[in-house]
Structure formats: C-alpha cells, structure tokens
Amino acid sequence: MERMEPYYILMKLPGSGELQYLLMTPFTPQNRDNMISWMAAKSDFPDYGKMLFYQLPKEKLVYGPNQIEAMINQNTTISQQLTLWDQKGSSVFRGKLIVTPIENSFLYVVPQYLTARGAKFPQLKRVIAVAGDKVVMEPTLEEARKQPLAGSPQPPAPRPPALEQARTQLEEARKAMQHGDWTKFGMAMEKLERQLTEPRQRRVRHSRIIS
C-alpha cells in the first residue's frame, strides 16, 4: 500500500460538540503497521492552522491502514462480489481509506467505485466499513456504519457516576477511622484511589495544542 496522504474530513473532535473541518492523518511506527497516534489540523477560522496530536495507549493494539487494507482483501464475500463485477466488463476500483475516530475506537471507511463499459464517470457502488475485526460492505455509508457496530460486543451496564462512587468510598473510610478499624480504612482508601485513577488510565491521552 502507498503512503497514506492526509485528507480533509468534517467531524467532531473528542470532547467537542461542534463539527469541524479538519485535515487529518494517522501515524504508524517505522517498520510496523499498527496505528499509534493521529494528528488533525484545524481548517476553520478562528483556529485555522492549529494542530492537535492524539497519542493512543501503548497497551492497546489499534489497526493501521495497511492492516485494514489486508483485512478487506482477505474478506471472501467482498472478493467474490468484486470479481463478479469485473467479469461483467466493469472497471472496479477502491477509493481512499478514511480513518474516523468514534468515541474510544475507530471506524475505517473505504468507498468502492464501479465504471461501466462506455461510461464516462464512476459510480459509487458500495461502501466498505471496518470496526474492530468485523468487515462489511453495504450500498450506503449509513448502512455500512451501522453494521460493524451492531456486531460489536455490548457495552457493560452504566456505572454510577465516578463522583458518587468516590463519595461512597470516602464516607466508608471516615466511618472506619471513627471506629478505629484501620484495616477497613485502608481498604476503603485503596478503592477510592482505584476509582480516581481508573478512568484516567482508560482515556486516550490528548497532548497539547500546537499553534
């Protein structure tokens, strides 16, 4: 696969509720295919030219562009459909891979074009989407976006707000201290420490804005 060029995309950045016009590109380590970070350059005023760099957790494997292309090429359903179109005399070609951050994961989207014999312009025939280890090909982007997510594991049941959990552990520690139960006090403080640090460990690290 050729080196992936930066591309423009309209999306909401993590932690932002507004759509922004961005120039974005993913990064992979030298001689490796997994993605370790991605960078976006703002293209709207008044923040035109500001760049943001997002570093992914080292302990989490995130597929890079080459790995996604390999997954698509190895999918038998997609290969059979492309072969069928090609046998009918149409020219089949793939558009650019687009990597889109969605919450704490990534959605990879690839448009698939078809040019019929004698036609002057290509037609968007299918959209390939990859989420996790699932690859699908659907007629539209909306259908392709829904399919991978529908097959993903269901998220765990919502936890009580972190602040409420911290207050509970703090109250248990206070009561244990009043009764001189230092073992229970230590256990409550350990739980409180885990409660305060766990969300931070799960969150994708976000570096400073580069002007």
The 10s digit of each residue's pLDDT in 95-132 is 888 888 877 788 899 898 988 777 778 888 889 999 88
- String of DSSP letters for the chain: -PPPPPEEEEEEPTT--SEEEEEEEEE--TT--S--EEEEEE-STTSTT-EEEEEPPTTS----HHHHHHHHHT-HHHHHHHHHHHHTT-EEEE---EEEEETTEEEEEEEEEEE-TT-SS-EEEEEEEEETTEEEEESSHHHHHHHHHHTSPPPPPPPPPHHHHHHHHHHHHHHHHHTT-HHHHHHHHHHHHHHHHHHHHHSPEEEEEE-
**Could you give the percent of the chain with pLDDT greater than 70?**
76
**pTM of the predicted structure, to 2 decimals:** 0.64
For residue 161, is pLDDT > 70? no
Residue in the structure block whose two tokens are 């009764």 = 179
| Residue 182 in this model has a pLDDT that exceeds 80 | no
